[in-house]
Amino acid sequence: MSDETTPGPQPLVVGVLPGQSPEVLQTAGALAQSLATRLICAYVDEASYLVEWDPARSAHRLSLHPDTDNAEIRAVTQELRDSIGSACGPLGIDWTLRSLAGDPARALGRLAAETGAAMIIVGTPEPGLGHRISAALNGSVAAWLSHHQDRPILIVPVGGAARKIKRK
């Protein structure tokens, strides 16, 4: 892991989620390794919202679920760190984990702008009815980013989508 202000090539920003398909981190890690750059992994907690944002300082946020136990938050963070470490450790790349608040697409876009990222990497929605309903109600992170960003977006197919591509 390293600090995001490390000089060198522009970093890559990758959206991460607990229980996410490993294909997203594997792809992001391999790309970061081939570009000899660092990876900024970003988890966006949709159960909180941004109250104040200042790129020079940390963001202030409030939870939509004030009863959420800090132990739960630490457990999610540790699960993400373990997943990222498993995917990126063997590649020898530098990575950091950022926890953001609010709308995932906008939060990833802000982070990419703040860090001067060369690219934003996200996965396709996981298969299943719950994920399809969420995408229908909230919109697709990848779709929003592709229409509102001035930097490249890499969309990694996961689950069923990845298997379909490999069969061709």
pLDDT, tens digit, 9 for 90 and up, residues 60-80: 444 444 445 567 778 888 999
Query: 143: which 2 tokens?
Result: 């779709």
Q: What is the structure's pLDDT at 82?
A: 94
- 153 in Cβ contact with 119 (< 8 Å): yes
At position 113, the amino acid (one-letter code) is: A
Contacts of 82 (CB under 8 A, 6+ apart): none
Please state, in angstroms and rounded to a whole number, the distance separating the CA atoms of residues 120 and 139: 17
Rounded to two decimals, the pTM is: 0.74
Q: What is the structure's pLDDT at 128?
A: 54
Q: What percentage of residues in the chain have a pLDDT greater than 70?
A: 62
Q: What is the structure's pLDDT at 68?
A: 52
Residue with tokens 């470490």: 85
Query: 15: which 2 tokens?
Result: 């959206």
Query: 160: which 2 tokens?
Result: 């069923």
- Residue 73 class from Cβ within 10 Å (0-12 exposed, 13-18 middle, 19+ buried)? middle
Q: For 83-137, what is each residue's pLDDT tens digit?
A: 999 999 999 999 999 988 888 888 999 999 999 999 999 988 765 544 454 444 4
Whole-number mean pLDDT of the chain? 76
Q: Identify which has the larger pLDDT, 18 or 135.
A: 18
Q: Does residue 23 carry a pLDDT above 60?
A: yes
Q: DSSP 3-state assignment of 8?
A: coil
- 63 in Cβ contact with 121 (< 8 Å): no
Q: Identify which has the larger pLDDT, 155 or 160.
A: 155
